[in-house]
Copies of this chain bind each other. A is one copy, B any other.
């Protein structure tokens, strides 16, 4: 512990007094006595936010000590003498990256909930922190209140993890688990927006950009791999239809937005998108805004972490746990990560759902396009009662390379009876059946 050594109290400079920031003040206040008993007092000394006067009227502002200084000038936090750790709860790359560099250079520890920062700038930031002899912790960056990062860093350092899969976007999980009960995508999205789970522009969530940044944060610890989020293919959940849940059910599955990264030599095979998940997989257990991460290790097999992925209180728990770790100087397990390239190409069975104008020869044409690429069909499913003008039906394949399948799909899309391009989803396979 470089910065806080002299004082027995760890002094926090807080950047951002929104939902998480104000909850952090509240949760810290509830811990005051037990932290003092444990000889590791933590106190907020400075708070940065725009519109300080408005923020001071926030119902949770009373949890900030009266002695704390509120400021609209961030430099008064980043380099303040009475700040040992800067807690950043604002998000985004710019201007945060520069601010946190200033803090690290001033010898402050940094605790951040910023997935973008860690995913895109992690390597440089960790290097700077190491050079300065300070901590840079970020448990809250993925899966909010689920302690998957410390659980892996501290509890699975003795395993060699080759794969990480999970549900790390609560908005998509809310939408898809609601659709499981029969609702349509557009209806559920509106409901999610009304409840504040989804943004007015939901693209970051539903198109997978949020999940892939989190996947890269997890890959650093689980796979010790540094990968660029922009290289990870992200497929939208917006084309998933109620009919897909009906077909998935027939296959013993449901549909979830799955983020998955797997080591393959010097390559990380990674992708984010809707997938068919067998009901027997823990990934199918999650519902609502819940998050869940499954690590697969060579020796320990599959380990599941799950809980509340977001929200002020759960995220504040993760942030405070980091701050306590800084106070105790207890988070030094940091394994080097290698810079690896990403491939979106995976070998898996796939689900293809078509909407066609019915006429003779459709199955023959589709089967032909697959056969041309040496892809075997596993099953053809078709429910009764649909208009032959817009007939939905499903083909599942035996395991094949996704890039090979893509070529076949491109061919099929040109067929004159095809209303829309097929919806293509990977089918997850449970391969640790002894466990889960």
Contacts and interface: CB of A to CB of B under 8 A. Distances in A.
Nearest to A290: B435
Contacts of A303: 145-147, 305-308
A304 B301 contact: no
Contact of A300 (B38, B149, B308): B308
A321 B156 CA distance: 6
A41 to B, nearest CB: 14
Interface stretch (A61-69, A186-194, A312-320): A312-320
Contacts of A31: 158, 160
A37 B321 contact: no
A159 interface: yes
Nearest to A153: B154
A158 B288 contact: no
* Chain copies in the assembled complex: 2
A285 B306 CA distance: 13
A305 B308 contact: no
A426 to B, nearest CB: 23
A325 interface: yes
Contacts of A224: 34
B321 A332 contact: no
A314 B288 CA distance: 31
A304 B146 CA distance: 8
Interface in A91-115: none
26 contacts: A30-B160, A30-B298, A30-B299, A31-B158, A34-B335, A145-B299, A146-B303, A147-B155, A147-B156, A151-B305, A154-B154, A154-B321, A158-B320, A288-B434, A288-B435, A297-B317, A299-B313, A300-B308, A300-B317, A301-B308, A302-B307, A304-B305, A304-B307, A306-B436, A328-B332, A330-B330
Given A145-B297, A158-B324, A330-B330, 10 more contacts: A34-B335, A157-B324, A158-B320, A159-B317, A285-B285, A290-B435, A299-B317, A301-B308, A308-B435, A325-B333
